[in-house]
Amino acid sequence: MIHCAIKSIGFFNFVVHIRMIKSMKIHNFSAGPSILAQEVLQEAAQAVVNFQDTGLSLLEMSHRSKEFDAVLNEAVDLVHELLQLPEGFKTIFLSGGASTQFALVPMNLLPVGGKAAYVNTGTWADKAIKEAKAFGNIEVVADSKADNYTHIPKNYQVPSDAVYLHVTTNNTVFGTQFHKLPETRVPIVADMSSDIFSYEVDMNKVGLIYAGAQKNMGPAGTTLIVVREDLLGKADRHLPSMFDYRIHIKKNSAYNTPPVFPIYVSMLNLRWVKKNGGVKAMESRSIARSELIYSEIDRNPLFRGTTATEDRSRMNATFVLNDDYHSLDSDFLELCKNAGISGIKGHRSVGGFRASMYNAMELDSVQVLVDVMKDLESRKG
């Protein structure tokens, strides 16, 4: 019977069909690499076999070809449209992950001896601070580390002589989020790796945004940078060519061989975001998902959230079983597994549970998780 199915629909389509069936059964709450829409996965899979009827796989196609040049240009155009970038912003796609940008940002923006302000809200912000200290005077103006990063700091002052203020907008490990950018007169540099394209941002406040693709934009392997071009060229240090944003801008992200497939899939995902209502619609979806899960966390006597209510992340809901119910950890995970829930365990450094709910996640998947939480409660009762 399976042999007949393969023969009738073709091997490639059969594989895609099986992948789609499996995906409908699995609810992917992984923090990253994260969930992508089925139509994006299907089109990406086709490109691996035969890209746009060229007879070539995208994986073996020249990054200098007119076909991939069109992909790059569309990806850039979609970024500008979806983020509503003002004049003067440039967009590039690089390798090395967001962690590489921890060093490249101060390297490109901060003059020798210059000052930058940083807000420390978690693991990745802390690492960004460590890397930046090699390139200038880094002032940590706010820090929630003493409180185990359970809240976003408030009421801090940003030095007027700071070249920029760096914030990590969403804390994937501990589950906090800036729901809007801080008010400041200096340009904001934002690591938006896990919440870019999930809510509207006032780009007039921004000097630079960087984001690893694998949490809310595409697959692992490329990092998006959007930067105000007038901020570049002021760092009075030698920059190796591969580390100089200006060279990558001039070469349209193709100074060297770019990460072709991750850029392509990110472009497909940006198409999907636009098709489904753009960033405003993604924000509404994220609010609905987060309200559903947090309502159950607050209602269910077995569970409690781990972050300040006003700073809860819409992308990563972190929670634990209450002290009297820690013995039910394995029972809860088993129920999740039986319901097709994947990736629900918290980060290894903090434990507990984490429901990561990126743009492509449907509300139905969150409802499945809520139903499992209710099921555990009923079994305990």
- Residues with a catalytic annotation lie at 124, 191, 215
| Cα–Cα dist 315/290, whole Å | 8
Closest CA to 95 of 273, 270, 255: 255
Residue 297: closest CA among 326, 328, 318: 318
CA geometry: angle 203, 161, 241, nearest 5 deg: 65
Cβ(142)–Cβ(87) under 8 Å?
no
| Neighbouring C-beta atoms of residue 114, cutoff 10 Å | 19
